Amino acid sequence: MIEVIIKNCVGCGACVQACAYNSITIIDEIAQINHDTCTLCGACISACSFEALVMKRENYSSVNKEDYKGVWVFAEQRNNIISPVVFELLGKGRELAEKRNTHLTAVLLSASPEKLTDELIACGADRVIVVNNPEVKDFTDQIYTSAFLQLSEKYKPEIILAGASNIGRSFVPRVAVKLHTGLTADCTGLDIDPETGNLMQTRPAFGGNIMATILTPNHRPQIATVRHKVMVPFPKDDTRKGEVIVEKLDFEAKDSKVKFLESVQEEGYQINITEADIVVSGGRGLKEAKNFELLKEFAKLIEGAVGASRAAVDSEWIPYPHQVGQTGKTIKPKIYIAVGISGAIQHLAGMQSADYIIAINKDKDAPIFQAADLGLVGDLFEILPLAIKRFNQ
């Protein structure tokens, strides 16, 4: 908390003017702090010329950090196919493990892991911990959380990385809460602080306007979820050897409050935009849902996937799995074509890493043109039909 050193305070009021939350008042020429509304921003301390305000911080460590060793990667799989983000995590995990002089472990929850363990080792893992209980065949929050808790309490990893996928975003926060540690979500950068050994977790903040680096200095493990298409995979080496550890865990009935019924693939959702080399995205400029058929026709001709801005998804013109942006998916195609998208910073956060960006918009001042390699100023309802005609020739 912020405390007032009474002998230094002269009641000048500079701190009152600096506080944006009206948390400071002057009573009998002494500053008084309302700790219920104070956000600890420190603006009052900077404004005080008399060193009358100090920030009291509690310095503690709730765990013995020396007990925690190793970097873990959650090896997410669906239908016994490793999720592509896992290979990126193994690449970054390999780098982090070497900096910490420790091992890299992939944690695989699968009822049929036989063919997957060798692939994980070839892609960078030193060892694979396998949980192949029948209960982990299909994902549920409670079972996956329980599995990670039991494994973490036994092996005590220093770092846990998972993809910022629907599964990762669903159960990893539960793991962090149960382990009484921190979680940094949707990271775009990871590194090791050379002085402290802490994991430096970088992610966009304030709508993507700044990049924040977040630390978990007092607790372990350090947990982060990472966006797809922002890390470099480890080069696959089929000659690599590693250890496979099989764990049989106990899942009590209370761990399974949700019963998995079936998995239904959304009709028409055939191409994963995170894996496509070409993505054609539509925004508010398409005006209504039926006009996405024009976009789909064009995407099919150029063997691309269909994406969308948040505005189009919120308007229910196209399902959420197509959304590109900070609250959607981060993609890195070879070619990204933005059609009728203004280019808000939240959308740019999801596609600005594309190799080549083409923008079509009738507003010549649209922010998307600042990120585009090629910009076409004009009516998309004139340009797209011409492009379709040309590709049909």
pLDDT, one tens digit per residue, over 327-355 is 888 888 999 999 999 999 889 988 888 89
| Dist CA 156 CA 173 (whole Å) | 17
> What local confidence, expressed as pLDDT, does residue 47 receive?
92
Whether residue 386 is predicted with pLDDT greater than 90 in this model: the reply is yes
Higher pLDDT, 61 or 106: 106
pLDDT mean across residues, the chain: 89
Q: Report the percentage of the chain scoring pLDDT > 90.
A: 66
Integer-rounded Cα Rg, in Å, for the chain is 25
> What local confidence, expressed as pLDDT, does residue 182 receive?
92
What angle, 0 to 180 degrees and rounded to 10, lies between the N-to-C axes of helices 166-178 and 141-155? 50
The answer to whether 93 touches 100, Cβ cutoff 8 Å, is: no
What angle, 0 to 180 degrees and rounded to 10, lies between the N-to-C axes of helices 292-301 and 380-392? 30
* Sheet (strand 199-205) strand order: 189-192, 199-205, 210-214
Higher pLDDT, 183 or 229: 183
Whether residue 359 is predicted with pLDDT greater than 80 in this model: the reply is yes
Q: In this predicted structure, which of 164-168, 270-274, 285-289 has the lowest mean pLDDT? A: 270-274
Dihedral in degrees, nearest 10, Cα atoms 290, 294, 297, 303: -110
| Dist CA 93 CA 199 (whole Å) | 11
The residue whose two tokens read 């910009």 is 375
The answer to whether 211 touches 221, Cβ cutoff 8 Å, is: no
> What local confidence, expressed as pLDDT, does residue 255 receive?
55
The residue-averaged pLDDT of 151-178 equals 94
| Dist CA 200 CA 215 (whole Å) | 6
| Dist CA 82 CA 200 (whole Å) | 26
Q: Distance between the two ends of the chain, CA-based, in angstroms?
A: 70
Q: Is 369 helix (H, G, I), strand (E, B) or coil?
A: helix
The residue-averaged pLDDT of 308-332 equals 90
Q: What is the phi-psi region of residue 84: left when phi exceeds 0, alpha when psi lies from -120 to 50, beta otherwise?
A: alpha
The residue-averaged pLDDT of 149-160 equals 96
Report the predicted TM-score, pTM, of the whole model to 2 decimal places: 0.72
Whether residue 197 is predicted with pLDDT greater than 80 in this model: the reply is yes
Domains of the chain with bracketed CATH: 2-55 (3.30.70.20), 65-253 (3.40.50.620), 278-392 (3.40.50.1220)
Q: With cut-offs at 50, 70 and 90, classify the pLDDT of residue 269.
A: very low
- Number of helices and strands (H, E) in the chain? 11, 21
Q: For residue 80, how many other CB atoms are within 10 A of its CB?
A: 13
Q: Of 374, 362, 283, whose CA–CA distance to 322 is shortest?
A: 283
> What local confidence, expressed as pLDDT, does residue 166 receive?
86
| Dist CA 262 CA 109 (whole Å) | 18
Whether residue 207 is predicted with pLDDT greater than 70 in this model: the reply is no
Whether residue 180 is predicted with pLDDT greater than 70 in this model: the reply is yes
Whether residue 263 is predicted with pLDDT greater than 80 in this model: the reply is no
Higher pLDDT, 207 or 83: 83
